[in-house]
């Protein structure tokens, strides 16, 4: 990741590299225009601190890179796995910007990232459908949603390899997907290809940890090259994918 971070730092540009009005507005008004002190984020930060301090032990069923079953404290999961507040705020702004009503969250974990999505869908009159493989982890996420009054969330528990297809059959189209599940090449591409059948021109896909490993970097390159993809934005921690047919195929590495 150090090498990939150095490559990113050398390649990243700002708004002066953007000539498309759509991308210029997106970058200056949404990606970079952060408001960390918005009251809506305060309760999520409080819950994050509670989870990081928790000594509750879970029996984790892991279908991802650490596949297997093991015991782990909620606190250690929170400290190692939760997306940063900065990423959560970005997701919140993106959901609101595109007025996403059908939001899919692949990888609930303890529910913190899902909460940012849920608070955004309260403004768009939307719904977040979130999928988590581990039942005990999902139970803690349920507590998170109850604590934060996340009324727009619907949970699905089970191995994403088996649950994603049935979940998507219930949806005519998806507006927004956050991919944060199995961080390996084959599963990531499988999730991507499965979701493609439900996109529309303004759908937005966000991929987490695109530089986390060589496997994820290869997945990101495959996604960028797909014929349905027009514009991609590399923010290092996450990659944003658009399918807007009115945009020429371009890839941007931008400072965040």
pLDDT at 2: 85
Q: Which of 27-36, 65-74, 162-171 has the lowest mean pLDDT?
A: 65-74
- Distance from C-alpha of 163 to C-alpha of 107, rounded to nearest angstrom: 12
| Mean per-residue pLDDT over the chain, rounded | 95
Q: Which CATH number fits domain 2-37+83-253: 3.40.50.150, 2.60.40.1120, 3.40.50.720, 1.10.287.3510?
A: 3.40.50.150
**Residue 189: pLDDT over 80:** yes
Of residues 1 and 216, more confidently modeled? 216
Mean pLDDT of 70-86: 95
| Strand partners for 59 | 71
Mean pLDDT of 170-182: 93
**Residue 70: pLDDT over 70:** yes
The conformation of residue 13, written as its DSSP 8-state character, comes to B
Taking only the tens place, the pLDDT of each residue in 136-157 is 999 999 999 999 999 999 999 9
Mean pLDDT of 125-138: 95
pLDDT at 67: 67
51: helix, strand or coil: helix
Mean pLDDT of 233-244: 98
Mean pLDDT of 98-116: 97
- The set of long-range contacts for 138-144, using a CB threshold of 8 Å and a minimum separation of 24, is 138/108, 140/51, 140/56, 140/58, 140/74, 140/110, 140/111, 141/108, 141/109, 141/110, 141/111, 141/114, 142/111, 143/111, 144/47, 144/51, 144/110, 144/111, 144/112, 144/114, 144/115
With cut-offs at 50, 70 and 90, classify the pLDDT of residue 117. very high
Mean pLDDT of 112-121: 98
Residue-range domain boundaries for the chain = 2-37+83-253
**Residue 68: pLDDT over 90:** no
**Residue 37: pLDDT over 90:** no
Taking only the tens place, the pLDDT of each residue in 214-233 is 999 999 999 999 999 999 99
């Amino acid at each position: 990741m150090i090498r990939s971070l150095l490559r990113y730092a050398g390649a990243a540009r700002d708004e002066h590299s953007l000539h498309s009005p759509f991308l210029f507005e997106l970058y200056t008004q949404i990606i970079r225009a952060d408001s960390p002190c918005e009251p809506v984020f305060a309760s999520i930060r409080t819950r994050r601190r509670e989870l990081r301090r928790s000594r509750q032990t879970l029996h984790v069923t892991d279908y991802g890179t650490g596949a297997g079953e093991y015991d782990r404290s909620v606190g250690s999961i929170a400290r190692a796995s939760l997306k940063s507040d900065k990423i959560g705020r970005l997701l919140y702004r993106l959901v609101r910007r595109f007025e996403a009503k059908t939001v899919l969250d692949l990888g609930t974990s303890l529910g913190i990232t899902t909460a940012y999505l849920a608070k955004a869908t309260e403004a768009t009159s939307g719904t977040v459908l979130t999928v988590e493989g581990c039942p005990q982890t999902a139970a803690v996420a349920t507590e998170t949603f109850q604590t934060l009054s996340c009324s727009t969330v619907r949970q699905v528990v089970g191995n994403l390899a088996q649950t994603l297809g049935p979940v998507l059959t219930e949806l005519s189209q998806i507006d927004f997907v956050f991919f944060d599940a199995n961080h390996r090449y084959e599963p990531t591409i499988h999730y991507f290809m499965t979701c493609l059948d439900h996109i529309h021109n303004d759908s937005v896909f966000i991929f987490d940890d695109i530089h986390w490993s060589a496997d994820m970097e290869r997945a990101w390159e495959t996604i960028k090259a797909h014929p349905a993809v027009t514009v991609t934005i590399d923010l290092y921690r996450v990659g944003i994918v658009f399918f807007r047919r009115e945009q020429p195929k371009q890839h941007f590495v931008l400072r965040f």
